[in-house]
Structure 1
Amino acid sequence: MTWEYLVVETTLDSAALGELGAQGWELVAVVSPGHFVLHYFFKRPARG
C-alpha cells in the first residue's frame, strides 16, 4: 500500500481534526519541537 502524508504546523482544534478525519487523514503523531509549537503528522492511503 502506498501512503500520502500531511504535516500541519498550526494548532488544530477538535473541529479541524474532525474535518481532516472526514477527508481520510489519520493522525499518527504530534510533536512539540519548541514551546507552544505543535506539529501534527497525518497519513492516508494514496489515491490513485
Structure 2
Amino acid sequence: MLWEYLVIEKTLNSDKLNELGAQGWELVAVVSPGHFVLHYFFKRLLKE
C-alpha cells in the first residue's frame, strides 16, 4: 500500500473537513505548535 500525505497549516471549519473527507483524505493528527496555529495532517491511498 502506498500513501499520499497532505499538511494544512490553517484552521479548518467542519465544511472543509467534510470536503476533504469526501475526497478520500483521512485526518490522522492535529498539532498546535503555537497559539492559534493548527497543523492538520491527512493521508489517503495513493491512486496509481
Alignment TM-score, normalising by the size of structure 1: 0.99
Gaps of at least 5 residues in structure 1 are: none
How far apart are residue 17 of structure 1 and its match? Answer: 0.0
- State the identity %: 77
Matches of 1:16 and 1:10 in 2, distance apart? 11
For 1:1-48, list aligned pairs within 5 A: 1-48=1-48
Matches of 1:35 and 1:47 in 2, distance apart? 36
Aligned length: 48
Gaps of at least 5 residues in structure 2 are: none
Matches of 1:10 and 1:34 in 2, distance apart? 12
Alignment TM-score, normalising by the size of structure 2: 0.99
How far apart are residue 3 of structure 1 and its match? Answer: 0.2
Matches of 2:40 and 2:15 in 1, distance apart? 15
Stretches (4+) displaced over 4 A = none
